[in-house]
Structure 1
Amino acid sequence: MNPHSDTLTTADGRTALRMERRLAQPPQRVWAAITQPAHLARWFPSEVSVELRPGGAIGFVFPGSGEPGMTGTVTDAEEPRAFAFTWGEDHLRWEITPEGDGSLLTLVHTFGDRFGAASFASGWHLCITALGQLLDDGKVDVTQDTFGELHEAYLAQFDLGRGVVEHTADGRRIRIERQLVRPVETVWAELTSGTEPLKGTPAPKGFTAPRTPPGPVSEVHAPDLLAFTTHSGGEVRWQLTPGTGHGPRLILTESGPGDFDAESALTAWQSRVDALAARLPEK
């Protein structure tokens, strides 16, 4: 199974991840592997129950999660060409095209959370690799060990780590949003270096950038949030919110007074966040 292409497009607030893979098996065998629950259980990220018809119900249960399963609706079931369904607010469409003695499998995953795209791509990369192994010889040997490396590669490919300068009612602000790949407790420990910050004390070095000396902590809720005031009267906020994949979503902002040099701030913070993200897969 060889990669063909992975692309990301965004329009009208929705993002579409498109992944293509060549498979050595004919469409009918691929169809069975992506629609029959017994086969899906070997490579899909959840257990699946499905009424294989347009309008039919489809259910997803993650083993051992202790959470109620999610449900969706089959939107397409055209054997052996197309299988599509909703999953929460997302839509997944699998297309199988004959190609020589084998098939071209195309997945289009459409969703609202653009910054989750690297997590989705990494997860599907591993799942489709397992699908290829299942079809080749029935032996699935895929682990999550490479998830962090894959995630960072997809994040770079899709240009998902770049921050922006925003114009708000209170002035200019920089904002960086980035999905991270380790648990929130690991990220917090990396930022604090093991010393828990206290309100009114200088912000730990891990929360600062070279151009932003540590000011006093104005708000702290471990392990989710730290804010501190800057010497110019602005504010830096680190928020670690629930994310996709294996870690939290980092949202970093800095705002400042009227003469706030947002472009320089963005450059400094971008370097800081990139360095943090590069270290995390090794933790």
Structure 2
Amino acid sequence: MNPRADTLTTAPGGRHALRMERRIGHPPERVWAALTRPELLKHWFPSEAGGREPTDVEAPRLYACTWGDDQLRWEVAPDPETGGSLLTLVHTFDDRFGAPSFGAGWHLCVSALGELLDGVAEPARPRDTGELHEAYLEQFDLGGGEITADGTVRFERQLVRPADAVWAAFTEGDEVLKGSEAPEGLVADGVLAGVVTEVRVPELVAYEVAGGGEVRIRLAPGTGYGARLLLTHRGSGDPTAARAAWHARVERLAGRLLEFSRAGWPPGPPC
């Protein structure tokens, strides 16, 4: 089924739920085995998070479990159109901005599950998933940033490359020095940047802006294989204009990071 039909919704307790449904060309009993038998799980199920603890099991229809701090709910139903199965996953988690990584990872993992049942000895795992990640980010509308109650422009975005690669792309190779003017690459169009007030390569840079404001750009640990961008711009005269300018700058950064993947930058697998 088309990943464009996958959804991200709000779950109870302020959590978030990713839902996807896929057709698997095998009967429910075989899909159930792939979901529950360790010797099959190891070929397709991701292992980065904590172990699974079952919370609701109704063979061969339902398998729900914890996964670290998250919840997974797998449902298997006969598919009358194909004679195979309809596999539905609901993944409930706290990290809304990690949803594109989860979506891309699960899409590939479930594809690997299908290949396993098709008889592929070692299901293929794509070398890079950056474009799939960015497609999910756009689909879930997570790239536009926000204006907080005090007028601060804020962006949080999961990126597809580690912090050192992001820093190189963002700064465009320029050195960032405390007390010097902020490099052009770190400044959105129309922002009147001043001097750098704080820098920790490749994690943090802060600089003054006209009118007594400040821009802070932090690269924190993220989900899977990339850094998490946390950007704030406070003190701008027109937050709406600043938000639009930073949106354009962050999109250019994301596009540059995808170019890294096409050039062979080594990513970490999401699944």
Contact 1:191 1:204 in 2 (8 A): no
Per the normalisation by structure 2, the TM-score is 0.90
The answer on whether the counterparts of 1:129 and 1:142 sit within 8 Å (CA) in structure 2 is no
What amino acid is aligned across from residue 185 of structure 1 in structure 2? D
Q: Which residue of 2 aligns with 1:129?
A: 111
Which residue number corresponds to residue 76 of structure 1?
56
Match of 1:167 among 149, 153, 160: 149
One of 240, 243, 248 as aligned partner of 2:227: 248
1:104 aligns with 2:105: no
2:258 — aligned with what? Answer: 281
CA distance in 2, matches of 1:74, 1:86: 6
Structure with the larger RCO, 1 or 2 (CA within 8 Å, 6+ apart): 2
- Which position in structure 1 is the counterpart of 2:19? 18
Q: State the Cα distance separating 1:231 from its structure 2 match.
A: 2.0
Aligned residue for 2:170, secondary structure, equals helix
Q: Aligned partners of 2:2, 2:28: CA distance in 1, in Å?
A: 17
Structure 2 residue 196 is matched with structure 1 residue 217: yes
CA 1:35 to 1:3, structure 2 compared with 1: closer, same or farther past 3 Å? farther
Contact 1:126-1:142 within 8 A present in 2 as well: no
Q: Note the 1:124-163 alignment, pairs <5 A.
A: 124-163=106-145
Aligned pair 1:199/2:181, yes or no?
no
Which has more strand, going by share of residues?
Answer: 1
CA contact (8 A) 1:21 1:106 kept: yes
* Structure 1 residue ranges without an equivalent (≥5): 47-61, 63-68
Mapped contact 2:43–2:123 kept (Cα < 8 A): no
> Alignment RMSD, CA only?
1.5
Matched to 1:192, the amino acid is: T
Distance in 2 between the 1:155 and 1:220 partners? Answer: 28
Distance 1:3 1:27 in 2: 20
**In the alignment, is residue 238 of structure 1 matched against residue 239 of structure 2?**
no
Deviation of 1:22 (Å) = 0.6
Give, in whole Å, the separation in 2 of the partners of 1:192 and 1:262.
Answer: 23
Displacement, 1:245?
2.1
Q: Deviations over 1:196-218 (max 9, x none)?
A: 31111011111101111331001
| Gap regions ≥5 residues in structure 2 | 261-271
Amino acid at match of 2:66: T
Aligned to 1:51: none
TM (normalized to structure 1)? Answer: 0.87
**3-state secondary structure, aligned to 2:8:** strand
Consecutive aligned runs of 4 or more in structure 1 exceeding 6 Å deviation:
none
The question of 1:187 aligning with 2:188 is answered no
Aligned residues: 256
Q: CA deviation at 1:246?
A: 1.3
CA contact (8 A) 1:93 1:107 kept: yes
Corresponding letter in the other structure for 2:46: P
Deviation readout 1:211-230 (Å, 9 max, x if unpaired): 11331001111111100001
Measure the CA separation in 1 of the matches of 2:51 and 2:169.
37
How many angstroms does 1:72 deviate by? 4.2
8 Å CA contact 2:52, 2:66 repeated in 1: yes
In structure 1, what is the Cα distance between the partners aligned to 2:64 and 2:26? 20
Q: Alignment partner of 1:42: what SS? A: coil
Q: Which residue of 1 aligns with 2:42?
A: 41
What is the letter of the counterpart of residue 246 of structure 2? W
Q: SS in structure 2 opposite 1:96?
A: strand
Deviation, 1:137, is 2.3
Using the aligned pairs only, state the percent identity. Answer: 55
Task: Specify the alignment match of 1:8 in structure 2.
Answer: 8
* 2:97 pairs with 1:120: no
